[in-house]
């Protein structure tokens, strides 16, 4: 490139030196072009410059062509070699996770994974050398599948409409039926439903059959026993209640490490009605078997209560060079009720809970959100349809936080905040939950960077337990520091217990403690409450 630039520069210089009249062979000034160098001493110099110009142009063209041919060949060969090596190691890792294959193959496969993740981390560190300090990585918890290929695995459930539930699972055998049998008594299935299945490919990885079946109508607050694919174990779920109270677990950036296992154990230690996850689920990060391992890790909880999720940056897995579109695995595996809420994309949707007493909006930080975008138009329609006399609680979840005093991911949610904050404020959204920053932080009610009693309370809860570790440093001199009420860089989870039409209590539970411990607690009053709607703007946290 330097040679090409030099050649181009030399040509430019010589062309500028050349007088315009020199381009003509007519007239008294053209004798130097005929080789009369004795009469015109400068003619030789000008002819030499012209020659150099042409020579540099030819050289530049040759260099350019050679570069493209060589680079294309090398990259093409490297791409094929990488894909082949990666595919073999992924299979080896998958077999090792299943307890099959030789120790040597498993060791090589895991070494490859560590090498790839190390290189990715190195690039990340080089790009953001002093961004923030993290704890050392925690080992992955790989969850093996030791049942027959037709056995359903990775079962998780999600609400669909007011009284239905979607059951999703995977089978390695791609010829198993997409059927769910269910009933209110153990082993006594009084109903069944049939759905659909699909697979996807990523490099040489091909997923198992991903099944989705919607069952119902179901009674609220009721325990059902169900079996997937006419072959699986009997599982149990409980439908959400038809009215308040409602207990929601909120957790982001979950991953599948020992920290994740600790978080899941704490969540499972107390009952709840529904789990909300504002992005970054498996941290597969293109290693597709890790999606399968994650599905098996969360199944005990995700098959028993609805898990409602939205996407984070780690779900994207886009590889434009080799033609992989973003969110392929996420959309295939974690289908959410977007069609039922009038959304054209699985990346943003909404749903009602507790018989419509709560409306939950799941926004997409990685879908277009600007004025004129489909997501923004959908959000306007969705919020316009919320009657706050019927729906006293309005919650929003998204991945990249709009308010954040942690050193990590500064400013990444700013464009979305600028595009959408006014919509949420006018709708009197009660709470906005986000993830992405691997720490816990709670703000007061805010609108447009100022404390405002009519704005949402902002909570960052990206401390589920992923392999990247915690974001340890909060900025005391940040412009939003005076709005931040509580910060702690520890793994944990949160719970929002909506008690009735006017009152709810938010608690944050830290993993570090041997027993369930509430580290942060705040009571909220619904912004639809007549009492609160009369309150003046600008109230501080203790008045929430
Ligand atoms: Fe993230």
- What string of DSSP letters covers 195-243? -EEE--EETTEE--EEEEEEE----TT-EEEEEETTTS--EEEEPPPSS
Tokens in use for 45?
């110099």
The percent of the chain in helix, strand and coil, each rounded to the nearest 5, is: 35, 25, 40
Q: Answer for the pair 254, 260: CB distance below 8 angstroms, yes or no.
A: yes
Is residue 81 assigned to a domain? no
Domain check: are 288 and 232 in the same one?
no
Query: HEC string of 82-144?
Result: HHHHHHHHHHHHHHHHCCCCCHHHHHHHHHHHHHHHHHHHHHHHHHCCCCCCCCCCCCECCCC
Indicate which CATH number applies to the domain containing 156.
2.60.40.380
Domain that holds residue 219: 142-239
Q: How far is CA 239 from CA 64, 233, 340, in A?
A: 65, 19, 18
Query: What is the spatial distance between Cα 205 and Cα 293, in angstroms, rounded to a whole number?
Result: 14
User: What is the whole-number distance in angstroms between the Cα of residue 114 and the centre of ligand 1?
Assistant: 20
Is residue 64 assigned to a domain? no
Query: What is the spatial distance between Cα 439 and Cα 431, in angstroms, rounded to a whole number?
Result: 18
Q: Answer for the pair 423, 429: CB distance below 8 angstroms, yes or no.
A: no
User: What is the whole-number distance in angstroms between the Cα of residue 120 and the centre of ligand 1?
Assistant: 15
Is residue 195 assigned to a domain? yes
Domain check: are 234 and 250 in the same one?
no
Domain check: are 204 and 262 in the same one?
no
Q: Which of 239, 272, 299 is the last residue of a domain?
A: 239
Query: What is the spatial distance between Cα 463 and Cα 458, in angstroms, rounded to a whole number?
Result: 15
Domain check: are 207 and 346 in the same one?
no
Is residue 8 assigned to a domain? no
Query: What is the spatial distance between Cα 169 and Cα 159, in angstroms, rounded to a whole number?
Result: 15
Q: What is the pLDDT of residue 542?
A: 44
Nearest to 331 by CA among 538, 523, 168: 168
Is residue 78 assigned to a domain? no
User: What is the whole-number distance in angstroms between the Cα of residue 311 and the centre of ligand 1?
Assistant: 9
User: What is the whole-number distance in angstroms between the Cα of residue 281 and the centre of ligand 1?
Assistant: 9
Domain check: are 394 and 519 in the same one?
yes
Indicate which CATH number applies to the domain containing 445.
3.60.21.10
Q: How many Å separate Cα 456 from the centre of its chain?
A: 23
Long-range contacts of 181-184 (CB under 8 A, 24+ apart): 181/226, 181/227, 181/230, 182/215, 182/224, 182/225, 182/226, 182/227, 183/224, 183/225, 183/226, 184/222, 184/223, 184/224, 184/225
Is residue 394 assigned to a domain? yes
Look at the block and give the residue holding tokens 């949160």: 494
Q: Which of 224, 239, 254 is the last residue of a domain?
A: 239
Domain check: are 218 and 366 in the same one?
no
The residues annotated as belonging to the active site are: 409
What pTM did the predictor assign?
0.76
Domain check: are 174 and 220 in the same one?
yes
Q: How many CB atoms lie within 10 A of CB 185?
A: 10
Is residue 469 assigned to a domain? yes
Tokens in use for 497?
């217990």
In the β-sheet with 209-215, what is the strand arrangement from edge to edge? 153-160, 164-171, 209-215, 196-198
Element (H, E) at 390: none
What total of structural domains would you count in the chain?
2
Q: What is the pLDDT of residue 104?
A: 72
The angle formed by the CA atoms of residues 11, 17 and 22, to the nearest 5 degrees, is 105
User: What is the whole-number distance in angstroms between the Cα of residue 13 and the centre of ligand 1?
Assistant: 50
pLDDT in tens, the chain (544 residues): 333 333 343 333 333 333 333 333 333 334 334 444 445 667 888 888 888 878 877 877 777 667 666 666 666 666 567 666 766 665 666 566 555 566 676 677 667 766 765 665 555 444 443 443 445 667 788 888 888 999 999 999 999 999 999 999 999 999 999 999 999 999 999 999 999 999 999 888 999 999 999 999 999 999 999 999 998 899 999 999 999 999 999 999 999 999 999 999 999 999 999 999 999 999 999 999 999 999 999 999 999 999 999 999 999 998 877 778 899 999 999 999 999 999 999 999 999 999 999 999 999 999 999 999 999 999 999 999 999 999 999 999 999 999 999 999 999 999 999 999 999 999 999 999 999 999 999 999 999 999 999 999 999 999 999 888 899 999 999 999 999 999 999 999 999 999 999 999 999 999 887 666 789 999 999 999 765 555 544 444 444 4
Is residue 528 assigned to a domain? yes
Q: Which of 239, 272, 304 is the last residue of a domain?
A: 239
User: What is the whole-number distance in angstroms between the Cα of residue 469 and the centre of ligand 1?
Assistant: 12
Long-range contacts of 79-82 (CB under 8 A, 24+ apart): 79/321, 79/322
Domain check: are 283 and 203 in the same one?
no
Domain check: are 334 and 322 in the same one?
yes
Q: What is the pLDDT of residue 94?
A: 56
Domain check: are 376 and 513 in the same one?
yes
User: What is the whole-number distance in angstroms between the Cα of residue 417 and the centre of ligand 1?
Assistant: 16
Domain check: are 403 and 497 in the same one?
yes
Query: What is the spatial distance between Cα 342 and Cα 348, in angstroms, rounded to a whole number?
Result: 10
Domain check: are 297 and 225 in the same one?
no
User: What is the whole-number distance in angstroms between the Cα of residue 442 and the centre of ligand 1?
Assistant: 18
Q: What is the DSSP letter of 170?
A: E
List CB contacts of 369: < 8 A, sequence separation 6 or more.
363, 375, 376, 415, 416, 419, 420
**Parallel, antiparallel, or unpaired: how do β-strands 484-488 and 235-238 relate?**
unpaired
User: What is the whole-number distance in angstroms between the Cα of residue 163 and the centre of ligand 1?
Assistant: 32
């Amino acid at each position: 490139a330097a040679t090409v630039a030099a050649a181009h520069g030399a040509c430019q210089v010589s062309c500028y030196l050349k007088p315009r009249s020199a381009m003509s062979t007519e007239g008294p000034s053209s004798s130097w072009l005929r080789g009369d160098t004795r009469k015109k001493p400068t003619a030789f110099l000008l002819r030499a410059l012209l020659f150099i110009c042409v020579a540099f142009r030819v050289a530049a063209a040759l260099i350019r062509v050679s570069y493209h041919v060589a680079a294309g060949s090398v990259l093409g060969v490297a791409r094929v070699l990488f894909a082949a090596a990666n595919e073999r190691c992924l299979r080896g890792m998958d077999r090792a996770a299943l307890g099959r294959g030789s120790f040597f193959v498993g060791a090589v496969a895991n070494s490859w994974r560590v090498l790839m993740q190390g290189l990715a981390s190195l690039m990340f560190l080089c790009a953001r050398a002093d961004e923030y300090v993290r704890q050392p990585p925690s080992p992955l918890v790989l969850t093996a599948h030791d049942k027959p290929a037709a056995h359903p695995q990775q079962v998780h459930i999600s609400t669909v409409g007011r009284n239905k539930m979607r059951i999703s699972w995977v089978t390695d055998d791609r010829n198993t039926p997409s059927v769910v049998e269910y009933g209110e008594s153990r082993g006594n299935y009084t109903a069944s439903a049939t759905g659909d299945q699909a697979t996807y490919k990523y490099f040489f990885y091909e997923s198992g059959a991903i099944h989705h079946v919607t069952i119902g109508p179901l009674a609220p607050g009721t325990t059902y026993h169900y079996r997937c694919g006419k072959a699986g174990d009997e599982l149990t779920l409980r439908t959400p209640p038809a009215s308040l109270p409602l207990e929601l677990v909120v957790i982001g950036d979950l991953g599948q490490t020992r920290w994740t296992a600790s978080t899941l154990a704490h969540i499972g230690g107390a009952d709840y009605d529904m789990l909300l996850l504002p992005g970054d689920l498996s941290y597969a990060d293109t290693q597709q078997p890790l999606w399968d391992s994650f599905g098996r890790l969360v199944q005990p909880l995700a098959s028993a209560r609805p898990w409602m999720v939205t996407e984070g940056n780690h779900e994207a897995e886009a590889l434009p060079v080799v033609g992989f579109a973003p969110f392929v695995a996420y959309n295939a595996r974690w289908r959410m009720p977007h069609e039922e809420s009038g959304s054209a994309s699985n990346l943003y949707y909404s749903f009602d809970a507790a018989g419509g007493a709560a409306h939950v909006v799941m926004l997409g930080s990685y879908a277009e959100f600007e004025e004129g975008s489909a997501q923004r138009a959908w959000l306007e329609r969705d919020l316009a349809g919320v009657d706050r006399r019927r729906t006293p609680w309005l919650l929003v979840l998204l991945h990249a936080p709009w308010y954040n005093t942690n050193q990590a991911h500064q400013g990444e949610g700013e464009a979305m905040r600028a595009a959408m904050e006014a919509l949420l404020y006018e709708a009197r959204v009660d709470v906005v939950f986000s993830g992405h920053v691997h720490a816990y932080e709670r703000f007061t009610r805010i609108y447009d960077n100022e404390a405002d009693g009519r704005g949402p309370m902002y909570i960052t809860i990206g401390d589920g337990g992923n392999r990247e570790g915690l974001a340890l440093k909060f900025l005391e001199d940040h412009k939003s520091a005076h709005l931040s009420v509580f910060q702690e860089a520890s793994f944990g989870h949160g719970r929002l217990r909506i008690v009735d039409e006017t009152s709810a209590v938010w608690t944050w539970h830290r993993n570090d403690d041997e027993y369930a411990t509430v580290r942060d607690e705040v009571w909220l009053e619904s912004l639809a409450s007549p009492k609160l709607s009369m309150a003046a703007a600008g109230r501080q946290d203790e008045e929430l």
